[in-house]
Amino acid sequence: MTSAREGAPAEPVPDAHGEFPPAVVSLEGPFQHELVHTRGIRLHTATAGDPADPLIVLVHGSFGGWFDYREVIEPLAQAGFHVAAVDVRGYGMSDKPPTGYGYDLRNAAGDLSGLIRALGHGSAIMVGNDTGGAAAWVLAANNPERVRALVAVSAAHPTDLRRCIASRPWLFHRMLIRMLLNQLPSGLSSRLHRFQKTAYRRQLQVNTTAEYQRSPLFEKELELRQLAARISNTGPAIVHNNRLLTGVVPLSWIRQQVKVPTLLLYQEQGAWRHLATRARQRVAAGTRVEQVAVPGTRNLPHLENPAGFVRAITDFLAEVQPQR
């Protein structure tokens, strides 16, 4: 079995339309690939660990895939967890229903809830980055029985992000551009995502440190992300997934608080300083909430410092759930 860093498929070949098969992200490593049936679709997961251990679900953002977490799956399993890194609806090796169906926050959270049950668990520790974090926030607030703890990796509840943007738009200029681009008609917007490789490079650059960008890991991750974006029928899903960042939730959900232990993996900088304040207010009084900055990272600590990322999560969980 090859290591996760060495497991990229060799020389993937696009079809006549310039698109790739899902197998381009079927990397080898210390994990197993599974298709999990839930809510009428199949979600791909890379899993490791004993199914009898507490479940950790790792959820990627709009520009990534399950493979973003490939370096932390085994260490988390060795720490005593059943780990599942998921390709969300429309991505990677998961099913890709027509984009008129199920690409909203209610269904994104519902998919995660169904995945937890399909993996044989009643609840899970949810770890989400970017839009994966938005869905995890919504799940934790609306279905606390499914969530043992929440780890938000540079991610906010969509209502809180909207309010922060409205109050301090000058701190969110990149986010505003991203939002505007993804409000274009999905056909046009998906073509922009598919063919403009520079957009993926720029997005990875602004979310990682200069040291990471100088390493060969940066180019490998960028290549994987660009390949994944060109998997057949993924383009429209990327557009709709991006909209989850500030997606509208039902009125009854807007003020719902998170009542499970919450770890904020945020950097103390600019916009995240204000989002952290909102996030703390979202967590109910008396519920454990901590903020940690993983050393040597910016917004993607699971890529930039996998060991530090794992340590931050396991240290937090050892404190809030000592009787695992």
pTM (predicted TM-score): 0.93
pLDDT reported for residue 60:
98
Q: Is the pLDDT of residue 48 over 70?
A: yes
pLDDT grade, residue 177 (50/70/90)? Answer: confident
Lowest mean pLDDT among 39-53, 169-183, 261-275: 169-183
List % helix, strand, coil for the chain (3-state, nearest 5): 50, 15, 35
Is residue 139 one of the residues assigned to a domain? Answer: yes
Report which secondary-structure segment, H or E, holds 19.
none
Q: Which helix (H) or strand (E) holds 36?
A: strand 32-38
Rounded to the nearest 5°, which phi and psi values hold at 255? -100, 5
Domain that holds residue 53: 20-320
Average pLDDT of span 249-257 = 90
Token digits of residue 39: 């809510």
Number of folded domains that form the chain: 1
Let me know if residue 8 belongs to a domain: no
pLDDT tens profile 83-106: 999 999 999 999 999 877 789 999
Neighbours of 235 (CB within 10 A): 23
**173-181 helix and 158-167 helix, angle to the nearest 10 degrees:** 120
Beta pairing partners, 42? 37
Q: Is residue 244 situated within a structural domain?
A: yes
* pLDDT tens, residue by residue, 179-217: 777 666 655 555 554 556 788 999 999 999 999 999 999
Residue 2 covered by a domain: no
Q: Is residue 59 part of a domain?
A: yes
Confidence of residue 173 (pLDDT cuts 50, 70, 90): confident
State the pLDDT at residue 13: 74
Does residue 131 contact residue 237 with C-beta atoms inside 8 Å?
A: no
Quick check: is 187 in a domain?
yes
Q: Report the pLDDT averaged over residues 130-141.
A: 97
What's the CA gap between 200 and 222, in Å, rounded? 7
Say if 15 falls within a structural domain. Answer: no
How many residues make up the chain in this entry?
324
Residue 239 is assigned to a structural domain of this protein: yes
What is the DSSP-derived secondary structure letter of residue 132?
Answer: H
Distance CA 244, CA 185 (A): 16
Q: What span, in angstroms and rounded, lies between the C-alpha atoms of 322 and 317?
A: 7
- List the CATH number of the domain containing 214: 3.40.50.1820
Mean pLDDT of 34-38: 97
* Choice between 264 and 235, residue whose per-residue pLDDT is larger: 264
Across the chain, mean pLDDT equals 90
Q: Say whether pLDDT at 315 is over 90.
A: yes
Structure token digits, residue 125: 């520790």
Residue 164 tokens, joined? 């922060």
